[in-house]
Structure 1
């Protein structure tokens, strides 16, 4: 190491703290040169000088495995999420994760859209990838943010939520009753009485039956919730219980088949979920409170529940009450 004064009055520092890492710089004063030398030697102690980070060459599939072991396995439906990510990874050609580009992803998305994949599914895929990168970045397991962070989701028009009238509910229950499928009949009744998701009703166990109420566990929001039911439904559930861990067998396919026998038709993608919409819609039409409905449905955000607010009898009555007094 050397610090020499130059003819122009400045000071020249020449330092090589480790072999192959040499620093040469000019300073106005000798004090500045000494201060810079001290900084270099401090970095020498921490290893910052020679421990230059290697370029991250891990494939996207490797990050999926890493993310799944640390975080994904704790999600409500971990295997399904992992399958989606692996399928997406393979379709993208399993690139080096850091080198994935927005253009590469957008080309993939365009092809998927042309094949008829819904915008909602494509938005979910984008969200899955960004969540994966985001978690690994926040936990310092990668040193870069998601390369797709600037890609915007596809704008989806809000669709009308279909619900069944009272007559249609009765018709559906009659069709199911005639099929003599006790599991299916009770699941549908649970959904119509509580607004539960199909999966929540289908996974009920005897221990979740309370006094005129059901407690739903392992919900989408991660929070348990309890909803009142009629005494008749409670009695029927207890009678059906055989002491097994689960009350019901998987019945969604049977439900879809019997739904086709009904005189009414539901929009694509709104089969079993229409029962949840039916509960929420009738709740609001009969004068229910939107905040109470949020707690019943288990929505984490009131914005989701507000989709049903227009069905309330007094929805936006102020629009008439406080409008200009013309055309009466």
Structure 2
């Protein structure tokens, strides 16, 4: 028979639709076995070369390796991503990739969150793992859908962006000039404050990156080249510095030490990045255009730049102009009283007192 029940209760299919094409498979229910038999008979009649696909039993680490060989190696942070993905696969005990359990993943995420991992880090890892499945499916390496497609990322509480006042900028520069033994720190700080560059972008600059009053940043986070004008004074200062001291190097540690010697206290993770926020915040407060700021900072979407929109002078004035009047002036009180009095007087009409 094509279908028979085994002693353990499962159902075995042994079907040979045409001579030389024989298929065997075991199922938990009789219905599944019958559907498999019918599929085999119909498909082989339509296409003699057809055969049922076998279960994909490749492990998650094997899938990550395939992703890196075919796609990940071309990414700027591909090797870093692979290390994170390998660590995740080990924590999940390297399951069969097609059967990865969303609950097991969610449990691992909870354990790491309680251990101190930030929600943003965990969301990045979820994105990396989803990318493995999506890229390999697009390349035809796997045929099944992403088993974590319905797992939602963690909600992240937006933090207030920290930026420096003019007095704090002066204090920081004074700390660098008087107590820093690394001559490269001050020019990198000045570049960040003058252009809104990320610390890594400023540190990678060379003498050839500054020409005709314009700094050109390459190797940026978005992968795009952008140019930002600078003052003639800063251009001369950078040219003199590179001629005397050579390219920038080993600056971030010295900068953090100089910052620690000041009274400035910034949230964790915003030390050097506060310089970028400082440029953007002052730019908007001084009346700069939000679209121009997007181009200067190199944001791929305007939504990122809109974080600074609340600092615009017009935006702040609107809160005063259009908000409720909490402390009315004497003039507004008198006007309101006059209006109320005028409304209380009944107008005369030609019909007499009764008005009918």
Query: If the length of structure 1 is used for normalisation, what is the TM-score?
Result: 0.83
Instruction: Tell me the CA shift for residue 317 of structure 1.
Output: 4.7
CA–CA distance in structure 2, aligned partners of residues 317 and 53 of structure 1: 66
SS of aligned partner of 1:81: helix
Structure 1 counterpart of 2:188? 187
- Indicate the residue corresponding to 2:22 in structure 1: 20
Alignment-derived partner of residue 303 in structure 1: 303
1:155 aligns with 2:161: no
Q: Which residue of 2 aligns with 1:253?
A: 253
Task: Give 1:42 shift.
Answer: 3.6
Measure the CA separation in 2 of the matches of 1:262 and 1:254: 13
Residues 161-200 of structure 1 mapped to structure 2, 5 A cutoff: 161-178=161-178, 179-200=180-201
Q: Which residue pairs with 1:72 in the alignment?
A: 72
Per-residue Cα deviation, 1:272-303 (whole angstroms, up to 9, x for no partner): 11111111111111111100000000000100
Give the drift of 1:206: 2.2
Mapped partners of 2:269, 2:129: distance in 1: 24
For 2:268 and 2:210, the matched residues in 1 are separated by 32
- Relative to structure 1, the CA distance from residue 324 to residue 159 in structure 2 (aligned partners, 3 Å threshold; closer, same or farther) is closer
Tell me, yes or no, if the aligned pair for 2:285 and 2:312 is still in contact at 8 Å.
yes
Bigger Rg, which one: 2
Alignment of 1:17-166 (within 5 A): 18-20=20-22, 40-44=44-48, 47-48=49-50, 50=51, 52-166=52-166
What is the distance in 2 between the residues matched to 1:58 and 1:215? 46
Structure 1, unaligned stretches of length 5 or more? 1-13, 23-36
Superposed CA RMSD: 2.5
User: Runs of 5+ in structure 2 lacking a partner?
Assistant: 1-15, 25-40, 329-356
| Residues 234-289 of structure 1: CA deviation (Å, up to 9, x unaligned) | 11222222599x82113212211221111111011111111111111111111111
Per-residue CA deviations over 1:184-231 (Å, capped at 9, x if unaligned) read 111111111110111111111222112111111111111110011111
Change over 3 Å in CA distance of 1:258–1:316 after alignment to 2: closer
Q: Which residue of 2 aligns with 1:31?
A: none
C-alpha contact (below 8 Å) 2:182/2:251 kept by paired residues: no
Corresponding position: 1:241 with 2:245:
no
CA deviation map 1:55-99 (0-9, x unaligned) = 222222222222122222222322222222222222222222112
Where 2:54 maps in the other structure, the secondary structure is coil
Matched, 1:213 2:214: yes
Name whichever of 215-224 and 304-313 sits farther off. Answer: 215-224
Cα distance in 2 for residues equivalent to 1:155 and 1:140: 33
Question: Are residues 253 and 83 of structure 1, via their aligned partners in 2, closer, same or farther at CA, if it must alter by over 3 Å?
Answer: farther
**Distance in 2 of aligned mates of 1:294 and 1:286:** 16
Residue 21 of structure 1: CA displacement?
5.3
Q: Secondary structure at the match of 2:83?
A: helix
CA separation of 1:17/1:317 partners in 2, compared to 1, >3 Å: closer, same or farther?
Answer: farther
Distance 1:174 1:89, change over 3 A: same
Distance 1:20 1:147 in 2: 31
- Is contact 1:17-1:41 (8 Å) kept? no
* Contact 1:58 1:97 (C-alpha < 8 Å) held by counterparts: yes
Residues 71 and 243 of structure 1: CA distance in aligned 2, closer, same or farther (over 3 Å): farther
Shift of 1:145: 2.2
Is the contact made by 2:215 and 2:227 (CA closer than 8 Å) also made in structure 1?
A: yes
1:285–1:313 contact (8 Å) kept in structure 2: yes
Secondary structure of 1:314 counterpart:
helix
The alignment partner of 1:143 has SS state of coil
SS in 2 for 1:270: coil
